């Protein structure tokens, strides 16, 4: 349900604005004012514990306080506390406007209590502070209901997009439950080998800022998904590679380079997560051009990536597969049954062959955020429904459940989720995730096992 907007901070009086102008002229092109540095220092622990970076980093990036490389450095840290510390280390070096822009970003991301803490400390230092500029809209953003799209300029394209959902708090702090030695010993024989200290290489590719003629909107909350997956995969023992805002051509080239890395020979598995806008069978680059998912899978198949032959390869696709919103249906009384159709087998004789033959594509499992032809749902504070559910299930059940069964658990969570936006087409909207698999054994991740 939409929450009322917080009261706006009163505008500065003319004398305050004059003082601010004088302060900015005095600072010139020097570094951050010593009083601002001291205010950050005195509140460092509180900020490190309480900051929510998901949207705040985008505001700082927009105001040129941090660069894309700095954002990537921050998001590469494991855990929200360490990410916050990295930002606090960078801020004092980012020029005289950094403190002012940081406070404005706190206000704009509903963290005004932290801004008040900094300004109170600044006042206590008994120096003339540099009041905040009045050029910003001082009102807190008005949150919309979970399944409403945020207000934006009319789109000229009918291309499907994830729906941006705005209720909820920030991303959760992740913690993966370790596998017990007993479970590992009793299940490892029936499963894919998962013994390397570094389980494998993981690639998280996230497109959030789009250009070009398609008029694809900014994927607010996409950075939350990105940070969640980077943290999750690191906790599961993967060496995580990160890519931001790639064109379709860049995605193809860098996925090819990733698939050809020699390090795959020394590992037991591989993960590729693609987060972007999309259509059925393809995802968008930031230039509005499409990369076909079949091309992605081809790069990692047995013919093109021999280093990963007979090793499990996991793909997670957070993108729309159409523009249709799942309206859901009312459940009727009575049980529903699904039959299992039979199938025929045809085994080729292997006699006389010198080498074991493999199908061109095998040992893959791919999770999709939504069904064919439908739109995926995303929350600008907590990230997408699918990635949030994926992280929750993998943290809780990777210790004793194989990946295919975990994706069934993810499906169950997504099935139960429902949008709330009375009076709009998205009220009680639904989403349904799915996966497809050519795995040939159980894929257990065995977090923490075997002991190193």
- Spot the catalytic one: 59, 264, 277, 402: 277
Q: Is 190 in a helix, a strand, or coil?
A: helix
Contact 121, 42 (CB under 8 A): yes
H/E stretch holding 435 reads strand 434-437
Contact 376, 419 (CB under 8 A): no
Is residue 148 among the annotated active site residues?
no
CA–CA gap between residue 133 and residue 21 (Å, rounded): 9
Token pair of 291 as six digits: 């990369």
Q: Which residue has the tokens 């900094």?
A: 118
Give every strand in the sheet of 383-384, ordered side by side: 163-165, 377-379, 383-384
Q: Is 135 in a helix, a strand, or coil?
A: coil
Strands 282-284 and 290-292: antiparallel
In which region does residue 174 sit, left (phi positive, over 0), alpha (psi from -120 to 50) or beta (all else)?
beta
Token pair of 48 as six digits: 């490190």
H/E stretch holding 233 reads helix 222-235
Residues in the chain: 452
Strands 434-437 and 269-275: unpaired
Instruction: Count Cβ atoms below 10 Å from residue 56 Cβ, excluding itself.
Output: 22
Is residue 436 among the annotated active site residues?
no
b/e burial code for range 294-320 (CB count within 10 A of at least 16 → b): eebbbbbbbeebebbeebbbbbbbbbb
Contact 179, 399 (CB under 8 A): yes
Token pair of 50 as six digits: 């309480």
Q: Is the peptide bond before 450 cis (omega within 30 degrees of 0)?
A: yes
Q: Going by C-beta distance under 8 Å and a sequence separation of 6 or more, which residues neighbour residue 278?
A: 160, 284, 317, 319, 320, 321
- Spot the catalytic one: 103, 320, 370, 399: 320
Query: Which of 433, 435, 421 minimizes the C-alpha distance to 389?
Result: 433
What is the distance between the terminal CA atoms of the chain, rounded to a whole angstrom? Answer: 48
- Write out the catalytic residue numbers: 277, 320
């Amino acid at each position: 349900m939409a929450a009322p907007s917080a009261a706006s901070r009163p505008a500065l009086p003319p004398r305050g604005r004059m003082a601010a102008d004088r302060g900015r002229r005095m600072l010139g092109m020097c570094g951050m004012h010593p009083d601002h540095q001291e205010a950050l220092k005195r509140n460092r622990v509180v900020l490190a514990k309480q900051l929510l970076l998901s949207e705040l980093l985008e505001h700082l990036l927009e105001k040129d306080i941090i660069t894309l490389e700095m954002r990537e450095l921050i998001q590469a840290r494991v855990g929200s506390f360490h990410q916050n510390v990295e930002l606090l280390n960078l801020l004092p070096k980012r020029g005289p406007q950094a403190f002012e822009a940081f406070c404005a970003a706190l206000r704009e991301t509903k963290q005004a209590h932290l801004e008040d803490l900094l300004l109170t400390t600044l006042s206590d230092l008994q120096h003339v502070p540099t009041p905040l500029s009045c050029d910003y809209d001082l009102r807190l953003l008005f949150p919309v209901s979970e399944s409403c799209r945020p207000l934006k300029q009319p789109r000229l394209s009918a291309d499907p997009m994830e729906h941006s959902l705005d209720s909820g708090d920030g991303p959760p702090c992740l913690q993966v439950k370790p596998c017990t030695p007993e479970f590992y010993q009793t299940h490892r024989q029936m499963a894919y080998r998962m013994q390397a200290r570094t389980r494998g290489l993981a690639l998280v590719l996230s497109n959030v800022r789009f250009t070009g003629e398609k008029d694809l909107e900014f994927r607010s909350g996409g950075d939350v998904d990105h940070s969640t997956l980077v943290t999750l995969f690191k906790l599961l023992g993967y060496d995580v590679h990160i890519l931001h805002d790639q064109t379709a051509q860049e995605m193809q080239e860098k996925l090819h380079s990733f698939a050809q890395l020699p390090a795959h020979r020394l590992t037991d598995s591989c993960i590729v997560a693609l987060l972007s806008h999309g259509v059925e069978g393809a995802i968008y680059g930031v230039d509005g051009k499409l990369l076909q998912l079949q091309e992605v899978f081809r790069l990692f198949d047995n013919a093109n990536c021999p280093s990963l032959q007979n090793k499990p390869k996991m793909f997670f696709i957070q993108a729309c597969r159409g523009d249709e919103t799942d309206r859901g249906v009312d459940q009727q009384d009575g049980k529903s049954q699904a039959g299992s159709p039979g199938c025929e087998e045809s085994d080729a004789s292997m006699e006389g062959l010198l080498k074991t033959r493999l199908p061109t594509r095998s040992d893959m499992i791919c999770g999709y955020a939504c069904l064919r032809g439908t739109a995926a749902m995303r929350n600008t504070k907590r990230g997408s429904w699918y990635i949030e559910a994926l992280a929750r299930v993998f943290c809780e059940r990777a210790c004793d459940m194989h990946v295919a069964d975990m994706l069934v658990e993810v499906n169950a969570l997504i099935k139960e989720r429902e949008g709330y936006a009375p009076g709009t087409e998205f009220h009680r909207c639904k989403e349904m995730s799915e996966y497809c698999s050519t795995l040939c054994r159980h894929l257990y991740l065995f977090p923490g096992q075997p002991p190193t």
